[in-house]
Structure 1
Amino acid sequence: MRWRALAFLSPWLLGVAIFLIYPLVATIWFSFTYYDQFNPPVWVGLRNWVYVFTEYPPFWQALGNTLWFVVIMVALRVVFGLGLGLLVTKVKRGASILRTVFYLPYLAPPVVATIGFVFLLNPATGPVDQILGSLGLPEPNWFGDPSLAKPSLTLLAIWGVGDLMLIFMAALLDVPTSLYEAAELDGAGAWQRFRFITLPTIRPVILFAVITGVIATAQYYTQALIAGAMASGILPGSGSSFEPGYPDGSTLTVPQLVYSLGFQHFNTGAACVMALVLFAVSMGLTGFLLRPKAGLVDAGRTS
């Protein structure tokens, strides 16, 4: 029976060994070596770790930007996704049209969506700034101002929140209507029904949305790179030299730095150190959200 079970599990075990365990072990090994991807790796001990933490300032800026995206972007996506889910469940007429309209942006490829947003928010020719200017309002340099670049990328993420809308919509439709009816008979208002019935019931779904959002945002790469390249006027490609993070490193994230160091500057050891730090941060945040005393977890166990 044991060998039969292992035989059925073997495809999964093989996949985990090849695509998870081996890359993780190799990354740990390379983090202690000097490896330029052309010559055999040379053991250097903690030199890469010292270099990343004490001699390479862009790492701390990239880590700070990544944590900003994880905290702010994930929180706003969850809030707006829940708000849209509530909206489409309450609307009586035209709900299917609203669901389609809100979900379609999520289907747009990340590169296309980012390019479209950069054009819309272009300070010279973008329609958004032209409308603001015609109303006598300030015309921000959305992706060219270091203080606005991250909020602009957050707007892009909120625009594509259709996936969370569907998840929350399904969770909201699963809340027993008898609970709302009983609360209404007891004189509970809309806010009290939402606070004491809706939120406790869908807390496991909120936890799922937050954790998957943290993991995905910790790997934030494409949108920040494309937005920075478009705003700087230098498109990455053959014959061009582009360092990610424009403007002034405000959109630089750890995944961008890992790629830049590992595949543009061929410093694989330092890139592996950053990858391991990002892995540890993601695991730490996930463990914090799943800790036994967390209200989301307790609600998920008792619901």
Structure 2
Amino acid sequence: MTTFRAPDPVVAKVSVPFARRSGRPGGRRRTSRPEAFVFLTPWLLGAVALTVGPMVVSLYLSFTDYDMFTSPKWVGIDNFVRMFTDDDRYLQSVKVTAIYVLVSVPLKLIVSLLVAMLLNSRRGANGFYRAAFYAPSLLGASVAAALVWRALFTGGGPVNELLASLGWHTPSWIDDPKFSLASIVLLGVWQFGAPMVIFLAGLKQIPPELLESASIDGAGALRRFWHITLPMLSPVIFFNLVMEAIHAFQAFTPAFVIGGGRGGPADADLFYTLYLFEVGFQDFKMGYASAMAWVLLAVIAIVTAIVFRTARLWVFYEDAEAR
């Protein structure tokens, strides 16, 4: 018969008080780390001096008439009223930017998803193709890429010659108001490498047994894509949509280079950021430009909030369904 043995009084005296003193699991106590703030000081100084400070100054200047040479003159909301009532070029920039965002972002996401699905296999050559398709994204919004694109689509360029050989005679895309914006949209879509890589990573996370079971049940490729692939990819689509929309609103270099720095023919390439740059750094109306910048920030914030608000209607999270 087993007998109960009382704990060693020495161990009890040592362990019990120690367990009571420890306020966190494992006997660790929360201690302040003042040295952490010392290491964060460079970042905090940079954030205040290079981000928060300029934003506060820009907000103040948006309510002033400031030409960078004389003292700012307070004008209230006159800059904001002028945008929508007495500035046709501003309204044109809003129109051009809206068209660019609404056309380029969906096209870029569709192309990147299709290419990612083509590359979602274990064939040996896919590594080369992934690198090749991603390479244009490394250029980003560079001047070099825009210059090459301008040479391709100018009158007598390779694109026009190719179309002419197929029996479609087109004018210079760069100099025609009907085609100039389309050339910039194509440049944005061509740089689909970044969302493609993200889509490819999302495709790798889809359990293959789901697709296999659906195929055994008689579901075709289109039904498997619509009912399995797209719902499982919806969080990735959501992320790419938000990021690409923000980038599209901020597009500047392609419009500046391809449009010649003045908005292209008949202001067909007058992007919002391009007009902001022109007003602020060419016409020296820095107060008006600051007001434009804050309107752009507000629009991006509103669009992003709408996407987040509607995400619960079409974004599928597997762990959320499990709960």
TM-score bracket, normalised by the shorter chain, equals: 0.7 to 0.9
TM-score normalized by the length of structure 2: 0.82
Amino acid at match of 2:251: Y
CA separation in 2, counterparts of 1:151 and 1:254? Answer: 16
Contact 1:290–1:297, Cα closer than 8 Å, also in 2: no
Structure 2 residue 296 is the aligned partner of structure 1 residue 264: no
Whether 1:157 aligns to 2:175 is no
Letter in 2 for 1:32: F
Match of 1:116 in 2: 148
**What code does the residue aligned with 1:148 have?**
F
Q: Given the two structures, how large is their TM-score scaled by the length of structure 1?
A: 0.88
Larger Rg: 2
* Aligned ranges 1:183-202 → 2 under 5 Å: 183-202=214-233
Deviation (angstroms), 1:263: 1.0
2:120 touches 2:204 (CA, 8 Å); kept in 1?
A: yes
Query: Aligned to 1:245, what secondary structure does the other structure show?
Result: coil
Query: Structure 1 residue 252 and structure 2 residue 270: aligned?
Result: yes
Q: 1:169 aligns with which of 194, 197, 200?
A: 200
Match of 2:164 among 127, 133, 146: 133
2:177 touches 2:265 (CA, 8 Å); kept in 1? yes
One-letter amino acid of the counterpart of residue 24, structure 1: M
Q: Following the alignment from structure 2 to structure 1, what is the Cα–Cα distance between the partners of residues 255 and 159?
A: 20
Where do 1:1-303 residues align within 5 Å? Answer: 4=33, 7=37, 13-90=44-121, 92-108=123-139, 110-124=142-156, 126-229=157-260, 244-291=262-309, 294-297=312-315, 299=317, 302=320
Cα deviations by residue, 1:221-246 (Å, 9 ceiling, x for unpaired): 000110011xxxxxxxxxxxx5x211
The runs of 5 or more residues in structure 2 that have no matched partner are: 1-29
Mapped to 1, the partners of 2:287 and 2:210 lie a distance apart of 57
Deviations 1:244-287 (A, max 9, x none): 21111111111111111111111111101111111111001100
State the number of aligned residues: 289
Distance 1:300 1:213 in 2: 24
Percent identity between the two aligned chains: 35
Q: In the superposition, relative to structure 1, how do residues 247 and 299 fare at CA in structure 2: closer, same or farther (>3 Å)?
A: farther
Q: Is the 8 A contact 2:154 2:175 kept in 1?
A: no
CA change 1:192–1:151 in 2 (3 A) is same
List structure 1 runs of 4+ shifted beyond 6 angstroms.
none
Instruction: Pick closer, same or farther for the CA change 1:11–1:211 going to 2, 3 Å.
Output: farther
Q: Which amino acid aligns with 1:26?
A: V
Contact kept? 2:66, 2:72, Cα under 8 Å:
yes
Q: Deviations over 1:180-224 (max 9, x none)?
A: 122112211111111111111111111111101111111110001
Greater Cα offset, 158-167 or 83-92: 83-92
User: Which segments of 5 or more consecutive residues in structure 1 lack a partner in the other structure?
Assistant: 230-241
